[in-house]
């Protein structure tokens, strides 16, 4: 976090910096100082501060002028006024500017401790939220997202529960990893709330520790191969998802590292037959599917063959169900199974449901629209939604969506986000950067460009518009 101390008296400034430094202890923080409001404004224009402690009475512009500058520019930093005088006019003007804290000299250590602690907590919360958003964007293929720390290489790990696991357990594992000196960030996969995403730098020790930690838990983990930059994160996510399927081939292991497939047991022609049988004779399709799964067991196949086969079978069932009923079938992820036999029973149930006109466990394209309306603030891509949630070809899924809504997936999602952005700007006291974040945009400049394209004016211009009810 970043803290700025502003005071024209050098001894008072240095004394306050010393107090703050002692209160911070070992917490990572950058402390800056300025001898006047003009210098402080220059620093504020270049550095994102979390806390600004400023004296009121200074030559030239006062501390109140500095706070007014911060308010007019919608800066997120908390402003705290410091003064040797308890004058009512100062306090009144401070309250009008939204300043919640007013410190009188000599400063009480306990009150300053509370202010600094609150600033640290808010900074850490904002950092975690930013990491979460960046990770979601990384794994969905957004190469503009920032990696949370510098490293020679990275490794993506997905944790998945085979039984109900409390979120606090996930957090405790991450805390323990950090306690071992491992650098990581984590987030919930927006398409599967039971999965946590960890980003680890490329060393063996994090994987060894994680494997030991998961030994007696109902958790399994899939780890990707190392990748160098943001452009490799989407592929790493796919690798980690695929690796989780290793639990079916080896039920005694808890951590599976992705390996490049050496051979695939099935050809596209073989799998195309399954789709044909589904269309004409579901009983024959079920028998053919069982033979494919039997080959997996007899040959002792590695997990990538299981992942490949299950993905193809699930996609065929989904496409067949939609073509006959106009509804999307909910399909379980591969990592939720414990054996090939369990997969066989599950797919049999799904095939049987194809003959039933009223599918209780299905959803319509309206459910997809509802999902977007409820999760517009997440990084959502058509490809990820189609492949991971509905096991459908993204191009075909996009066509179905456009037929239903009259606009493309991207256009519809942008429309939802812009409507929410307009409401936030018109009704709430949020900064432009906060609104961009809340509407699913990682880049503020891109958010501003999109807003202007849709409404013909920038968010700042929109905020200054006078509204009245007619």
- The 10s digit of each residue's pLDDT in 114-158 is 888 888 787 777 777 777 777 877 877 777 777 877 788 899 998
**Is residue 359 scored above 80 in pLDDT?**
no
Helix intervals (H) in 245-281: 246-249, 268-280
Q: Of 288, 441, 328, 424, give the one whose Cα is nearest residue 376.
A: 441
- Block residue for tokens 């292991």: 253
Do residues 138 and 198 touch, judged by C-beta distance below 8 A?
no
Burial class (CB in 10 A: 0-12, 13-18, 19+), 137: buried
Q: Of all residues in the chain, what percent carry a pLDDT higher than 90?
A: 17
pLDDT band at residue 92 under the 50/70/90 scheme: low
Give pLDDT, residue 191: 66
CA distance 85 to 229: 53
Do residues 192 and 144 touch, judged by C-beta distance below 8 A?
no
Q: Of 392, 296, 374, 404, give the one whose Cα is nearest residue 340.
A: 296
- The whole-model pTM stands at 0.67
Per DSSP (E only), the strands in 139-178 are: 154-161
**Measured on CA atoms in the order 376, 379, 383, 384, is the torsion positive or negative?**
negative
Give pLDDT, residue 469: 39
Mean pLDDT within 72-101: 73
- Block residue for tokens 């000196």: 181
pLDDT in tens, 318-353: 888 888 878 887 788 887 787 889 999 999 988 988
pLDDT band at residue 470 under the 50/70/90 scheme: very low
Q: Of all residues in the chain, what percent carry a pLDDT higher than 70?
A: 91
**Is residue 392 scored above 60 in pLDDT?**
yes
């Amino acid at each position: 976090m970043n803290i700025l101390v502003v005071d024209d008296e050098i001894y008072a400034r240095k004394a306050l910096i010393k107090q703050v430094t002692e209160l911070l202890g070992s917490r990572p923080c950058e402390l800056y100082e300025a001898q006047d409001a003009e210098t402080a404004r220059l620093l504020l224009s270049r550095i994102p501060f979390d806390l600004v402690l400023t004296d009121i009475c200074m030559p030239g512009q006062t501390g109140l002028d500095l706070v007014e500058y911060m308010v007019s520019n919608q800066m997120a930093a908390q402003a705290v006024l410091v003064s040797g005088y308890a004058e009512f006019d100062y306090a009144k003007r401070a309250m009008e500017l939204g300043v919640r804290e007013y410190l009188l000299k000599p400063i009480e250590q306990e009150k300053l401790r509370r202010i600094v602690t609150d600033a640290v907590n808010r900074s850490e919360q904002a950092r975690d939220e930013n990491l979460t958003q960046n990770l979601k964007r990384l794994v969905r293929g957004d190469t503009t997202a920032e990696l949370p720390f510098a490293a020679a290489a990275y490794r993506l790990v997905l944790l998945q529960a085979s039984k109900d696991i409390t979120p606090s357990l996930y957090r405790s594992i991450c805390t323990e990893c950090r306690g071992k000196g491992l650098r990581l960030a984590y987030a919930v996969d927006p398409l599967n709330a039971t999965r946590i995403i960890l980003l680890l730098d490329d060393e063996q020790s994090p994987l060894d520790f994680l494997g030991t930690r998961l030994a007696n838990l109902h958790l399994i983990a899939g780890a990707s191969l190392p990748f160098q930059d943001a452009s490799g994160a989407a592929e790493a996510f796919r690798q980690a998802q695929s690796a989780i399927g290793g639990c079916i081939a080896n039920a005694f292991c808890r951590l599976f590292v992705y390996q490049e497939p050496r051979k695939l047991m099935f050809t596209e022609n073989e799998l195309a037959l399954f789709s044909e049988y589904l269309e004409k004779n579901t009983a024959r399709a079920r028998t053919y599917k069982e033979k494919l799964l039997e080959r997996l067991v007899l040959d002792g196949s590695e997990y990538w063959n299981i992942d490949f086969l299950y993905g193809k079978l699930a996609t065929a069932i989904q496409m067949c169900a939609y073509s006959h009923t106009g509804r999307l079938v909910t399909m379980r992820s591969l990592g939720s199974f414990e054996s090939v036999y369990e997969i066989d029973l599950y797919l049999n149930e799904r095939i049987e449901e194809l003959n039933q006109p009223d599918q209780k466990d299905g959803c319509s394209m309206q459910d997809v629209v509802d999902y977007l309306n409820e999760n517009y603030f997440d990084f959502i891509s058509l490809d990820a939604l189609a492949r991971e949630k509905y096991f459908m070809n993204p191009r075909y899924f996009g066509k179905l969506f456009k037929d239903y809504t009259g606009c493309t997936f991207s256009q519809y999602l942008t429309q939802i986000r812009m409507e929410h952005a307009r409401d936030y700007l018109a009704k709430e006291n949020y900064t432009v950067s906060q609104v961009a974040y809340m509407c699913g945009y990682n880049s503020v400049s891109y958010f501003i460009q999109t807003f202007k394209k849709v409404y013909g004016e920038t968010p700042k211009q929109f905020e200054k518009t006078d509204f009245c009810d007619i």
